[in-house]
Amino acid sequence: MTRLTLYADRRLAAERGRDTHFVLLSFNAPRLERTGDRPGLNLSLVLDRSGSMAGGAKLPLAKRAVELALARLSPKDRFSLVVYDNQIEVIVPSTPATPEALNEARLALGRIEPRASTALFEGYLRGAKEVAERLHDGELGKVLLLTDGLANVGLQDPSAIATHVAELRARGVLTSTFGVGADFNQILLERMADAGGGNFYFVENATQLADLLTGEVGEALETVAREVRVAVEHAPDVQVRLLDAFTVTADGGGVSTRLGALTSEQLVELLYEVDLPGRAVGETSSLRFTVSDADGALGAPSGTVEFLHATDAEVVRRAARRIQLKASEIAYSMNYEGRLGDVRSESVKAMEYLQKLAKRNPVIANEIAELERVVAQAEAPMEALAQKAFHFAYSRAQRGRDAQGRAIKKS
């Protein structure tokens, strides 16, 4: 089962007003042990053959890249090949990736020449149709769109195109885009990739195409989980915002994010901003995170982050305590290293920060006094055993242990 890790910036929440926190979710997709375990790939390669592709040997390099990408497929996969300028041509309809079919595709690629304008959306749509009409349960459907120019024939509005791409994603067809050179519309291609659950690539030089295109196909061939989602359940008065570039939708009692397909051992990290309401001291606010996928390959890992509401003064006091402990540990470390003359200058920032916090909570004066005592002690020579004892006590306290290094239990 996939292991889900959750980190919160802090676990205490305010009693009054709203309080902002951050939660980092992370996990690794499992490793693909045997290629036979992967889903079949239904792939369509959509290639721009407009007149601009004639420059800089872009079209020959693109055709070679497509040929190398197709060579990675096996007979359990399907592929189709679509080219477009102001007209659309399916040069290889969707077919199993047998050696014979791949050879026919290679010959067909050799006959492609640059022509006229750029009907980008219509070319893309034809490739997506080749996938959608022959996509079976359990397969991964994907369109790879390659272009070097602007859509200037047919539908051109990025938002409208992205809407169609999202609809195709709902039918199981993912989309990745490749923009070559300086003249393509990166807003359009990035929106298409985001809406399509795929990736956008900037290809500065056409010589990079083979590596990027084969790499994208390689990732698809190492897919271990399809239609991955991360759901966050929370109370109605809690607000959750994802800080990463994935679309978040309301999902019953929380929010949900679609990640698309994951490749073997892929690392996923999502950072959430959580806005909590004030609650009575001792009450808690909790968020439950669950990861799911279409085939259950990840094992539906889940976890909960819980925030304990305390008085504002208590939250600030505990924050000040952490700051003082960290600064004290550093002071004793410098004493051990013989850097006695640097101890006070190193503690200045922590001291100034504690003084600012003390304006909100006079109790913090105790932490300031404690840090002053530690600095005075650490900037003078100390006996070895005493130095180690003080360093140990302060370093353990920072890590949730008692003065003897033992775990602190719930009282």
Phi, psi of 108 (to 5 degrees): -65, -40
- Provide the pLDDT for residue 215: 92
- Provide the pLDDT for residue 169: 95
C-alpha to C-alpha distance for 78 and 39, rounded to whole angstroms: 11
User: Which H or E run contains 248?
Assistant: strand 248-250
Sheet holding 223-233, edge to edge: 12-13, 302-309, 284-292, 223-233, 254-263, 248-250
- Provide the pLDDT for residue 381: 95
Residues in the chain: 411
Tell me if residue 48 falls in helix, strand or coil. strand
- Provide the pLDDT for residue 61: 93
C-alpha separations of 181 from 109, 204, 254, 264 in Å: 21, 5, 42, 30
Dihedral angle computed from the Cα positions of residues 317, 322, 327 and 333, in that order, rounded to the nearest 10 degrees: 150
- Provide the pLDDT for residue 411: 46
Place of tokens 């990290």: 269
Question: Does the predicted model carry a pTM greater than 0.85?
Answer: no
Any idea what the Cα angle at residue 410 is, between residues 407 and 411, rounded to 5°? Answer: 120
DSSP string of 5-26? EEEES-SEE-SSS-EEEEEEEE
Tell me if residue 101 falls in helix, strand or coil. helix
Place of tokens 């966050």: 232
Write out pLDDT tens, residues 144-184: 999 998 888 888 999 999 999 999 999 999 999 999 988 88
DSSP string of 287-338? EEEEEE-TT-TT---EEEEEEEE--HHHHHHHHHHHHHHHHHHHHHHHHHTT
- Provide the pLDDT for residue 347: 93
- Provide the pLDDT for residue 23: 95
Burial per residue of 26-60, b for 16 or more beta-carbon CB atoms within 10 angstroms, e otherwise: ebebbebeeeeebbbbbbbbbbbbbebbeeeebbb
C-alpha separations of 186 from 10, 149, 156, 158, 168 in Å: 39, 10, 13, 10, 20
Write out pLDDT tens, residues 63-118: 999 999 999 999 999 999 999 999 999 999 999 999 999 999 999 999 999 888 88
pLDDT tens for the chain, 411 residues long, are 799 999 998 888 888 778 889 999 999 999 998 878 889 999 999 999 999 898 878 899 999 999 999 999 999 999 999 999 999 999 999 999 999 999 999 999 999 998 888 889 999 999 999 999 999 999 999 999 999 988 888 889 999 999 999 999 999 999 999 999 888 888 899 999 999 999 999 988 889 999 999 999 999 999 999 999 999 999 999 999 999 888 889 887 899 999 989 999 999 999 999 999 989 989 999 999 999 999 999 999 999 999 999 876 776 787 888 889 999 999 999 998 999 999 999 999 999 989 988 876 788 899 999 999 999 999 999 998 888 888 878 887 777 667 666 665 554
